[in-house]
Structure 1
């Protein structure tokens, strides 16, 4: 008897997940340089060195310098969460990071208008992608315009500050509109799926449940606060072996039948199969037929 296929595909450990498909976005305090190497070697698809909320104002300059020094070391690369455009620190953030060799992109805190993205993008040299962090009611209302701004790469949800701004609870029902709105805005702007806010609970069971909410609302990434969260997020936001085998089988049957649409269900299934296999490739998943 043939053993059933494992629900989890094998992962190519050397594979680098492209940022447009990245699932786990690990935030690391910029004032803790001793954590940078471990984060870079972790299961996180993307590492974000945080010089915004994670750093006291009195330590901003020192943290920024430490981040730039690390990024300037051969082989090191990461994204950086920078301060918002209305802050006293934004100008120094973009000017000093503009020449950082290992800078892959920036996450822009408290984005509330398209100009925030455009100004940041150009100040960085018009070559560094910007992930606008939507953290307020005003930012959410303008999410589509923000997503369409030059330099915008993916939208992200600053759920904690959004709750503080609106007074909403952290429940799935209370946050449903905001998550769905970011997904619709991302699609309308022609961007990849948005990045959900982090789970603050230490329980990995709760993290798994909330990562499933991320998927439920069409979001395709999630901010992480701790190293151990990244593996859970990657596992949940990922095609399973059964999905990949179905996609391979459907495409094989479709091609064997001449690649001709046979009924109204073929095109949706064709799109789903191709998406599954594209993601499997993006995530470095290996499934033996």
Structure 2
């Protein structure tokens, strides 16, 4: 198995794969997903969690590579999850379910040996309100939004306006913690126009990745979260002009535009978007 060429710091599409469906592991690894997450939490019946964990560890040890969504800190399965995964080759990182405090992140990070990055999945009202401290926790790598569980916890609808606050809260928390932009929750359904609209809305709010559940969602998500060709062309033209005038600042708008152009150009190159 080869690792994704897209670094997890900027990864757009994060494909969730049930840890009990071992036949899907190789297909996921060869897909267009920027990163894959083998799920031994919500996607696995409690009676099968031990088997799922063993299957995931076996696949990673045999040459696979990916992230693993483990059970939350308060669950009966968390301790066995972190002990079983510690030191496993191929483990790119851990997604911690239902994160509600900084201590959940640091305890997980420390139990895994202090070297495995933790993607903290925030899925409740408490988690959203604690997100700034979660983002600053030792071992925190990136924040994710468990939108489905958040709606169940709060009674919020899936309407974009109703969900704007928790998404924006995670964006602000990520900035406070000096983390990459957060990862949005999945969009359920097969409609590509709806998926594109939801992904573009998340980008407008400042999120930079999205969880997904199906292989056929990957291309849409990757395209929607990448800079457009016109954005890449504007960035390249601005940077070329800036260099041609000796990097001289002409007015107060130059520095913000320079920062935006450099970010777009860097992402366009990483994602293969040619002007």
TM-score bucket of the superposed structures, by smaller chain: over 0.9
The residue that corresponds to 1:146 in the other structure is 134
Do residues 213 (structure 1) and 201 (structure 2) align? yes
C-alpha distance in structure 1 between counterparts of 2:81 and 2:185, whole Å:
23
Please list every run of at least 4 consecutive aligned residues from structure 1 whose deviation after the TM superposition is greater than 2 angstroms.
none
Which residue of 25, 29, 32 maps to 2:18? 29
Moved more, 51-60 or 200-209: 200-209
- Measure, in 2, the Cα distance between the counterparts of 1:222 and 1:15: 16
Match of 1:20 among 9, 26, 37: 9
Does residue 244 of the first structure (1) align with residue 215 of the second (2)? no
Q: Distance in 2 between matches of 1:212 and 1:133?
A: 21
Describe the superposition over 1:221-241 as per-residue Cα deviations: whole angstroms up to 9, x where unpaired: 000000111111000000111
Aligned-partner Cα distance in 2 for 1:64–1:91: 12
| 1:271 paired to 2:259 | yes
1:185-209 Cα offsets, whole Å, 9 max, x none, are 1001100000000001221111111
- Measured against aligned partners, the alpha-carbon deviations of 1:60-115 in whole angstroms (never above 9, x if no partner) come to 000000000000112x1000000001101000000000021010000000000000
CA deviation after TM superposition for structure 1 residue 286, in Å: 4.9
State yes or no: 1:51 paired with 2:40: yes
TM-score by length of 1: 0.93
Deviations 1:213-255 (A, max 9, x none): 1111100000000011111100000011111111111111111
What is the RMSD computed on CA atoms of the aligned residues?
A: 1.1
Q: Which has the higher contact order (CA 8 A, sep 6+)?
A: 1
Shift of 1:15: 6.9
5 Å-filtered alignment, 1:1-289, equals 16-74=5-63, 76-283=64-271, 285-287=272-274
- Which one is further off, 54-63 or 258-267? 258-267
Preserved contact between residue 60 and residue 91 of structure 2 (Cα < 8 Å): yes
- Alignment partner of 1:155: what SS? strand
Structure 2: how far apart are the matches of 1:210 and 1:200?
Answer: 11
SS at match of 1:170: coil
SS at match of 2:169: helix
Change (3 A) 1:15 1:95: closer
Worse overlay, 262-271 or 23-32: 262-271
User: TM-score, normalization: structure 2?
Assistant: 0.97
Alpha-carbon distance in 1 for matches of 2:255, 2:116: 36
Question: How many residue pairs are counted as aligned between the two chains?
Answer: 273
Structure 2 contact 228–273 (Cα < 8 Å) conserved: no
